[in-house]
Structures are given as structure tokens and as C-alpha cells.
Amino acid sequence: MPGLTIGDSVPNLQVQTNQGNFKLHDFIGDNWTIIFSHPGDFTPVCTTELGKMAAYVPEFDKREVKLLGLSCDDVKSHNEWIKDIEAYTPGCKVSYPIIADPNREIIKQLNMVDPDEKDSSGKQLPSRALHIVGPDHQVQVKLSFLYPASTGRNMDEVVRALDSLQKALKHKVATPANWKQGDPVVISPSVSSDQAKETFPQGFETVDLPSKKEYLRFTNV
């Protein structure tokens, strides 16, 4: 469906949350930010997801990332639901704000609608969407996950993808398949061999391929 995707700027919407009202750009500022939606309060998969997100707050704090949830119920409902979330995930506190969207207008503007899932009244449900927004003052979406309402997200993959984005922004590298923090990265094709020697003084390994094209170069950063 058309809407917010990679490279787009997050609209500066005025939102109401369980931690007060604000505009999205004011909340995001110049920080990495993860905006993630949920079909509704007091639902099973969502309760496990928000609990896991709360459990991973220390990991996001290490990476200087802000979190912003969204669920299609009102603030009063959010506050009651948080009690269940924290009870299900002992020792974790839902410290991040959750946007209230009872009229389901915000999910449309953030491209977080599941076109195939509807509630008992016939209204479209949010998908399990997650946008990672970069810290470049353009509030641009750098990565998006889009899951159906029936599939819960894997927080380890969210952290892994975030690490990849941050690594790529800091260095002229990309991350290969199944990469995880600490593994070798590949040097961007836009970096010439001479530039690579200067940029990566620690050295790099060029894979000998049948094509003899020296494009697959691994290094550690």
C-alpha cells in the first residue's frame, strides 16, 4: 500500500500519549528513534511484544535510541494495559510513551495499516509495523519492518538491524547476510581499492571469485 516507507520523512503529527502530548519531530529531535505499532490494547501478541520491548530498553539506551509505541486505543486504556504488560514481563518497566489512536488516523499517515485484517466492527487493524528513524535532522525512515497482526516481532532482529544501520552510517560499509555485532563487514562498492587502503588501515580481505572482480571485500570495524 502507498505511504511512509524508507527514505520518507516522518510527518510532524501532533499525538496524544500516556506521557503527554507532543509533535513527532519534537520527540524525535536528532535521535535514532523506533516507532512501532500494535493492533490493540489487551491483546495477546501485543502484550508480549511491548513487554519484550521494555526488556530491551537497556540495549536501546546503549545505542542512544528512543522508543515510541502506538496502539489504537485511548490513553486511559493504555495506562491500564501497561499494568498487564509489566506483570507479564516481571522486572521490566514500560518507560516509553505509547500513542493513542482510537480513530485510527495516525496509523494511516504512518503506513501502519494491515489491509487484510479488520476488527469486529469492520475497521482496519494496524499491522505490526516498525520504522527506524535516523538522527540526520530529516527525520527520515531508514528501515521498516511490516508484519501481519498474527506474527510477533523478533527483538533480536530489531537490535541487529539497528546495529547494521548505525555501523553503515559511521563507516563506509555494509553488513552481509546473517551478520551480527562483531562479525566482519563488507566495504561499500563505491570505495575504491586505494580509498579502502586509506580508510581501513587495519586491512581488508578481498575474496577471490571466478569473475575475478574484486568487489567482495571484508574488514573489521
Output the pLDDT for position 1. 39
Output the pLDDT for position 172. 87
**Can you name the residues that pair with 85 across neighbouring β-strands?**
none
Output the pLDDT for position 155. 96
Strand residues in the chain grouped as ranges (E): 14-17, 20-23, 32-38, 65-71, 98-100, 113-118, 124-126, 128-133, 141-147, 173-174, 185-187, 205-206, 217-219
Q: What is the pLDDT of residues 139-181, one digit of tens each?
A: 999 999 988 888 999 999 999 999 999 999 999 899 999 999 9
Catalytic residues: 46
- Assigned C-alpha cell, 51: 513487554
pTM of the model: 0.92
Question: For the chain, which residues score pLDDT lower than 50?
Answer: 1-2
